Amino acid sequence: MPTFDTLLREVRARITEIDVATLERELGDGVKPALVDVREPDENAQGMIPSTVHIPRGFLELRIERAVPNRETPVVLYCQSGTRSLLAARSLAELGYTNVRSLAGGFTGWKRAGLAWEQPLVLRPDQEARYSRHTLIPEVGVAGQLKLLGAKVLCIGAGGLGSPSSMYLAAAGVGTIGLVDDDMVDASNLQRQILHATERVGIPKVDSAEQTLRGLNPDVKVGKHQTRITSANAIELVRGYDVIVDGADNFPTRYLVNDVALRLGKPVVHASIFRFEGQITVFPANGSPCYRCLYPQPPPPEEAPSCAEAGVLGVLPGIMGVLQATEAIKLILGVGDVLAGRLIVYDALKTRFRELKLRRDPKCPTCGDGVDRSTIPLIDYEQFCAGPRH
């Protein structure tokens, strides 16, 4: 029976070790090795070498093929002091990896040499529990959840569409949710605006929304903007956010949101509702198409439906707002096919979803050929729909 020391000597004779200075030089080169931290999660959480893949020793053989599919790729393993990574390197060599080295001195040696290291972003234990049904999905994972937690979404309107969209975004762990709304909660809102509550009638919608969203998920920062979006404040309002969810109930706001989003290069998830019918599409950050590709100018006031008389089935904004939240989350995660260039029309009476193609207009005034987007004018069209919000 060999002792541990003899075993280690045998492994050392077969596995090449690399010192910290050489590793640092190689990481700076064009052809850098795949760097794998084989320590336990609590050790990795204390700090790691930048551009590391973390695979705890116990999972190394199971997960290495996904992290390093090509067995010819140079791999460097490290642990805390250089022993566990040496034994792990032997296992990878047995798996057919032809160029595996172990970092002599491990992470401790790297830190002692004064080389750069970083604190990995990890979920807190309470977040691991809260978001476990997300992190179990390969397309989301911990990395995706961290993206959501770092994301900032601006909801235009805390009404019918803004209620379900902001609530699902909050539940999903989108870290910052901004709400633009200057209204107070009214009894006639409660048939569909589920952010609000009977005992909060009369208080500002942004305050009522904050209570609901923070109650749902204390991870969420709520940006309260108790105002209407206008040409004077639009850039300031939108600048700090990654995605805009447009739940506006009027044409002037839709044009303004389109124009400011193109100026700042932000994607817009657009939806609208009327009686039993809802529509949703995504206008990508670069337009192509944008709202003005479809409707270059606002309709004359006499052709616009009056919001006060329009009416809407209470559950309809629920469906459309949840679709908006879904598209916003896909945009943040960078997964799937978002609704860019496609318009979904939902008919609640017939329970039918139709999909229409939307085309970019090369003559579009805001995203057409040759348009300098930094000079797109911001216009306050006349407010011809002053009735209560959807």
Residues at the contact surface with Zn ion, assessed by CB under 5 A? 287, 290, 292-293, 364, 367
Please, is 233 exposed, middle or buried when counting C-beta atoms within 10 Å of its C-beta (0-12, 13-18, 19+)?
Answer: middle
Provide the 3-class DSSP secondary structure of residue 41: helix
The number of beta carbons lying within 10 Å of the beta carbon of residue 382 is 9
* Cα torsion through 362, 366, 372, 377, rounded to 10: 160
Sheet architecture: strand order including 34-37: 16-18, 100-103, 75-78, 34-37, 52-54
Strand partners, 52: 35
Q: How far apart are CA 302 and CA 119, in angstroms?
A: 60
- For 179-191, give the DSSP string: EE--PBP-GGGTT
Q: How far is CA 210 from the centre of its chain?
A: 20
Largest CA distance in the chain: 94
- Characterize 285-299 residue by residue with b for buried, 16 or more Cβ atoms within 10 angstroms of its Cβ, and e for exposed: bebbbbbbbbeeebe
Q: Are 189 and 159 in contact (CB under 8 A)?
A: yes
Q: At what angle do helices 162-172 and 205-216 cross, to 10 degrees?
A: 30
Backbone angles phi, psi at 230, to 5 degrees: -135, 175
- SS3 (DSSP) at 204: strand
